[in-house]
Amino acid sequence: MATTSIFVHTFFHSLFFTILLSVSVTSTTTTAMTDTKPLRLVTGLIHQDSILSSYQSLDRNNVERRRTRRAAFITDEIQANMVADDRGQAFLVNFSIGRPPVPQLVGIDTGSDLLWVQCHPCADCFRQSTPIFDPSKSSTYVDLSYDSPICPNSPQKKYNHLNQCIYNASYADGSTSSGNLATEDIVFETSDQGTVTVSSVVFGCGRSNRGRFDGQQSGILGLSAGDQSIVSRLGSRFSYCIGDLFDPHYTHNQLVLGDGVKMEGSSTPFHTFNGFYYVTLEGISVGETRLDINPEVFQRTESGQGGVVMDSGTTATFLAKDGFDPLSNEIQKLVRGHFQQVIYRTIPGWLCYKGRVNEDLRGFPELTFHFAEGADLVLDANSLFVQKNQDVFCLAVLESNLKNIGSVIGIMAQQHYNVAYDLIGKRVYFQRIDCELLED
């Protein structure tokens, strides 16, 4: 079982966001999905500070539920809306499982391919907002046995006293989930009162689950390149587009699944390791200045250490020390004499200054990540700095202290891009675009 998405215990955990998903389709009848794959599944991201949001603020610990809405009808697409909270875990998908269907909210994870939810009987379960799934009450639940061809064939392949195929999932923040593998129907409700059913989905029945899940979510939905991923079930492509992570009025952020995903813009190869999407970062520029960084700093070793991961579940960007130090020095040189530095002793080395990004950093040099085969990811001031509070902004890049993984390109660095993954071609595409244009 691959370790799943990155979670870092810093101030940035309050900047992460989670997403709730509801679905609308063209059909008003119940549809069973077996061999047929939808052209596109489109999810719209709703900012937590907007009037459509479920929560108040990225920087508040005590959040209030607000109201959600369903998406507009779009021909030949599955369209959905998403809302965010400040728990910093993952995207959350709203669907139902089993027959009769039981509603669930699960976090979308680009670092794993398994779907799992908490199940009765549960030896150790966290609090969730939806009912815990009881497989004994579902007519479509089927256990996977140890000798099932679907049971993952790996050195870690194990079974329990009931001869059930079992799984163990672990997360970078220490959260874990374990239980048995099974198949079940996943049901999406549509805005026109119909449903779409994905039949016999392999999932994990979580019997022992610990960590920072407590709250709304009931499990995890993996989006990595594995055979059991929902990406593979719906096709071989997915993309996400973030217009402005901190603009509560921007309503066109979206996540798309399926073979209809648009693969446009410059691209760079990726490879997968332990469920993560790794890219080759060759250098960093600030304005016209190419930083003096040895490209080997960003390479993954044969033992699996280091490398650069593209991640949609991490807000900030984390760079290996020998890549972060030159960037930190260049930023300090540019702001020296213009801004008063603010020190946060709980996060050593975090570059923070008095001022406002939108007002004081106009014309600040862009930062460019240079990837293999000519693909660039360009960050303006709003992607490079975060407004920590009304009078202090901070660099949204920190030195990495992540175990095994050297560097992570977070979602703030990917704002104003449609980032698309082709699992067959093993390429990731960067298209700088207003996300609203993708709806045409």
pLDDT tens per residue across span 373-427: 999 999 999 999 999 999 999 999 999 987 778 999 988 999 999 999 999 999 9
37 alpha carbon, distance to own chain's centre: 22
Residues 236-258, mean pLDDT to the nearest whole number: 79
* Separation CA 59–CA 49 (nearest Å): 11
Do residues 148 and 134 lie in contact, with contact meaning Cβ atoms separated by under 8 Å?
Answer: no
Handedness of CA 111, 427, 75, 243 (dihedral sign): positive
What was the pLDDT predicted at 153? 58
Q: Within 10 A of 398 (CB to CB), how many other CB atoms are there?
A: 24
Residues 137-145, mean pLDDT to the nearest whole number: 95
Chain position carrying tokens 């089927």: 142
Single-letter amino acid, residue 85 = D
Short-list 16, 111, 28, CA closest to 386: 16
What was the pLDDT predicted at 214? 58
Q: Report which of residues 278 and 275 the model is more confident about.
A: 278
DSSP letters spanning 276-317: EEEE-EEEEEETTEE----GGGGPBPTTS-B-EEE-SS-SSE
* Separation CA 377–CA 375 (nearest Å): 7
What was the pLDDT predicted at 371? 98
Short-list 33, 177, 160, CA closest to 114: 177
What are the backbone angles phi and psi of residue 15, rounded to the nearest 5°? -100, -10
Q: Report which of residues 240 and 34 the model is more confident about.
A: 240
Chain position carrying tokens 């089993």: 98
Question: For the chain, how far is it from start to end, CA to CA, in angstroms?
Answer: 39
Residue 149: pLDDT band with limits 50, 70, 90: confident
* Separation CA 371–CA 241 (nearest Å): 19
- The single-letter DSSP state of residue 215 is S
Catalogue the E-assigned strands of 214-265.
Answer: 219-222, 237-242, 253-257
What was the pLDDT predicted at 78? 31
Residue 193: pLDDT band with limits 50, 70, 90: very low
What was the pLDDT predicted at 13? 37
What was the pLDDT predicted at 334? 96
Report the alpha-carbon angle 1-132-148, nearest 5: 40
**Residue-averaged pLDDT of the chain:** 77
Residue 241: pLDDT band with limits 50, 70, 90: confident
What was the pLDDT predicted at 403? 72
Catalytic residue set: 109, 311
* Separation CA 142–CA 223 (nearest Å): 23
Query: Is the pLDDT confidence value at 189 over 60?
Result: no
Domains of the chain by start residue, with CATH: 11-257 (2.40.70.10), 266-439 (2.40.70.10)
Residues 50-68, mean pLDDT to the nearest whole number: 28
* Separation CA 230–CA 226 (nearest Å): 9
What was the pLDDT predicted at 152? 67
270 alpha carbon, distance to own chain's centre: 17
Q: Is the pTM of this model over 0.85?
A: no
* Separation CA 77–CA 52 (nearest Å): 22
Do residues 204 and 181 lie in contact, with contact meaning Cβ atoms separated by under 8 Å?
Answer: yes
Query: Is the pLDDT confidence value at 370 over 70?
Result: yes
Residue 329: pLDDT band with limits 50, 70, 90: very high
Query: Is the pLDDT confidence value at 267 over 90?
Result: yes
What was the pLDDT predicted at 50? 33
Q: Within 10 A of 336 (CB to CB), how many other CB atoms are there?
A: 9
Report the alpha-carbon angle 194-195-200, nearest 5: 165
CA of 147: how far to CAs of 151, 166, 278, 426, in Å? 7, 11, 32, 31
Do residues 24 and 70 lie in contact, with contact meaning Cβ atoms separated by under 8 Å?
Answer: yes
* Separation CA 385–CA 357 (nearest Å): 7
